[in-house]
Structure 1
Amino acid sequence: MKQIERYIFRRMATLTFWSLIAATTLVLTTQVLLRIDILTTTGQALSAFLKLAGTLVPSVMVIVVPFALLIGVGQVLSGMNADSELVVMEAAGTSPRTVLKPVLLLSVLLSLFVLLVSNFVEPWANRKLYSVMASAQSDLFSVAVRSGTFQRIEDGLYVQINEKKPGGELAGIFLSDTRTEGRELVYFAQRGSVQKIGDITLLYMTDGEVQQRDAGSDQISIVSFSSYALDMAAFLPASGGGVRRPNEQPTSYLLDPPADDYFVVNANHIMKSEIVRRFSTWLYPLVFGLIAFTFLGKAHSNRQEQVQNVLLVTGITLGLRGLGFYTGDSAGRLPAAEITSYAAPLAAIAIFGLLAATGRTLTIPKRWAQLNAFLLDWIQRRLGLQNPSASEGRP
């Protein structure tokens, strides 16, 4: 790379890094707060809190990386335009590819980073996350024994235990699960115990029954059991090795799952959605980088036009990413959504990549710029504000 290209790349990489740190911290804080009630209720130590925050970092970064790149690239290009650096480069006959190379290199590196994190690091972190949450949820049984009242594990999921006997045995277990719309589950057992098998925490119950009520037909089915096991992390009927969610499984497992996997049998659409998410999310850093360069990679003499280009870039990228979230969630149920999950970012890469390769940049139409200027002047007049340009005698 040339010296000017290294200069641009260094500025973009630095600003992208700090934007990533700031955005990850902000989103991570909200995600931890959503789960902090379980840790505080059970009196978990600070180490559990830090472990919870650490396991959430990969999932947050996969979402935040494209936006951090957009901030880094957009801010640097806007700054170079405001400081007339882009004007000087164009006047000196510098090719637009001089600016494109750092943008493209940084975008490709971050796309590969997202691909590796979402397929290798994130599944491992999710397994650790559910282990921490399961440990906290199992401690709620001790709280329920001490308080003698119902304890809320999460919305729609409550537990009560009458007595804790010597040896850790629980007596009088009652669980109410109304999290699934249209279905109510009630578990009752005479005795039970909480046991750990590896990273899986299980609630073993004996001499009880399960009552299921269908809200639509108002029918109730009752099944008695001599022994029953529940996974404290997922609260799904657990087999010998437990039930793991698709976002905990390695990519190789999702591509070739066993026929008796719980989600393959009961919720195969979740498996498909997770595969689509892992193989489509990594495209967005490249999409965002190309879009930012296409609109902001060329000098603009009108500062107001530059601001409007930034707003246009923000609108396009948010629209594409929002579409990606929607189609990713619907991919397991709708074949069209699965196709769109890949087609939308790939089409954006092809279109904006062609524009970037041919040295063309886009800007807002002049009519839009004139309309925006008219609206801003009208708002200023209504608010009694004075146009600084007019007051200084500039056109």
Structure 2
Amino acid sequence: MGGLNRYIFKKAAISIGGLIIFACCVLLMERLLRIFDVVTNSTNPASDASEMIFSLLPYYLGIAVPLALLLGTIITVDRFSRSSELTAALGAGVSLFHMTKPFLLIAAVLACFTMVIEGYLQPVGRYNYRQVENHIKQTAFTAALREGTFTAVGDRTFFAGTGLPGAGIGPIFIYEKIMDEDTEGGDMNQTGFRVTTAGKGELIIREENGDSSPVLQLEEGRGFQVENNQQLGGELSFLKSSIAGAATVTTFRMRGMMNAK
């Protein structure tokens, strides 16, 4: 590669590389809002957000690389034309085909890079993103305590009131399915449900063996259980009760398999 081609290659690579970074940042801005909305319910938001962003990079690179190649080529040639470098090169007897070699080389490298991204990195990254998102939604107990909304976490459905000034959150409603295995088919069927209400509650983080485990402490509550359409044991009242943080975590589907029925 001659000196002119090296010069063109350097200028084109800088323009295209800068556009790739810029395009990825712009495309990630909208997704960041959704990622932050998810990780606010996580006990380790910084790590989870970084992992989700890193997993999505191949997806946005697949969009940014072709766009940056097109715009970078146009911008580089336009700069050469405006600065009269293109005219000087043509006047020196350099053909347009000769000056396109650096762009063709960059395009070939980016084409191979895009094949790797689209063929392997993107599907793996999308799967990892959904896996992390699924894990957060199952294990982040605070997801169940969004004020004024019903939220399902595992077999439980939570509702939290708008909060009590200086006294935690409340009132709280918890609906929990009672599941039993079918003796014939081996499937899990709902045989009843359990309802718990409390006037107020407080979410605390318990440190145990280096792991953070959220615990919901309820006060002034009541509960009852129904199985096979019959209420069992009447109504239970309590002054204080605690609910462990994470619901039973189910493994995210294997990559390449559709969701089970």
- Partners of 2:108 and 2:151 in 1: CA distance: 48
Tell me, yes or no, if the aligned pair for 2:179 and 2:188 is still in contact at 8 Å: yes
- Partners of 2:54 and 2:97 in 1: CA distance: 39
Per residue, is there more helix in 1 or in 2?
Answer: 1
Matched with 1:190 is 178
Residue 123 of structure 1 and its aligned partner are, at CA, apart by: 2.2
Matched with 1:113 is 113
Paired amino acid for 1:207: Q
Matched with 1:270 is none
Residue 43 of structure 1 and its aligned partner are, at CA, apart by: 4.7
Does 1:57 find its partner at 2:54?
no
1:148–1:67 Cα change, 3 Å: closer
- Partners of 1:40 and 1:47 in 2: CA distance: 12
- Partners of 1:37 and 1:103 in 2: CA distance: 41
- Partners of 2:39 and 2:133 in 1: CA distance: 8
Residue 161 of structure 1 and its aligned partner are, at CA, apart by: 4.3
1:148–1:20 Cα change, 3 Å: closer
Paired amino acid for 2:178: Q
Aligned CA-pair RMSD: 3.6
Residue 141 of structure 1 and its aligned partner are, at CA, apart by: 5.2
Matched with 1:160 is 157
Aligned to 2:78, the other structure's residue is in SS state: helix
Tell me, yes or no, if the aligned pair for 1:28 and 1:60 is still in contact at 8 Å: yes
1:47-196 to 2 correspondences below 5 Å: 47-140=47-140, 143-144=143-144, 150-151=150-151, 160-161=157-158, 172-173=175-176, 189-191=177-179
- Partners of 1:69 and 1:207 in 2: CA distance: 55
Tell me, yes or no, if the aligned pair for 2:65 and 2:110 is still in contact at 8 Å: yes
1:223-238 to 2 correspondences below 5 Å: none
Q: When the two structures are superposed, what TM-score results if normalisation uses the length of structure 1? A: 0.41
Tell me, yes or no, if the aligned pair for 2:16 and 2:72 is still in contact at 8 Å: yes
Tell me, yes or no, if the aligned pair for 1:23 and 1:68 is still in contact at 8 Å: yes
Aligned to 2:110, the other structure's residue is in SS state: helix
Q: Percent identity, please.
A: 24
Tell me, yes or no, if the aligned pair for 2:179 and 2:189 is still in contact at 8 Å: yes
1:86–1:146 Cα change, 3 Å: closer
Per residue, is there more strand in 1 or in 2?
Answer: 2
Tell me, yes or no, if the aligned pair for 2:137 and 2:143 is still in contact at 8 Å: no
1:149–1:87 Cα change, 3 Å: closer
Matched with 1:16 is 16
- Partners of 1:16 and 1:123 in 2: CA distance: 25
Segments of structure 1 that go 5 or more residues without pairing to the other structure are: 154-158, 163-170, 174-188, 193-203, 210-223, 234-241, 250-260, 267-395
Tell me, yes or no, if the aligned pair for 2:150 and 2:157 is still in contact at 8 Å: yes
- Partners of 2:93 and 2:146 in 1: CA distance: 77
- Partners of 2:128 and 2:114 in 1: CA distance: 19
Q: When the two structures are superposed, what TM-score results if normalisation uses the length of structure 2? A: 0.60
Residue 35 of structure 1 and its aligned partner are, at CA, apart by: 3.0
Segments of structure 2 that go 5 or more residues without pairing to the other structure are: 160-173, 181-186, 193-227, 229-247
Matched with 2:242 is none
Tell me, yes or no, if the aligned pair for 2:151 and 2:158 is still in contact at 8 Å: no
1:143–1:101 Cα change, 3 Å: closer
Tell me, yes or no, if the aligned pair for 2:24 and 2:61 is still in contact at 8 Å: yes
Residue 42 of structure 1 and its aligned partner are, at CA, apart by: 3.9
Tell me, yes or no, if the aligned pair for 1:24 and 1:57 is still in contact at 8 Å: yes
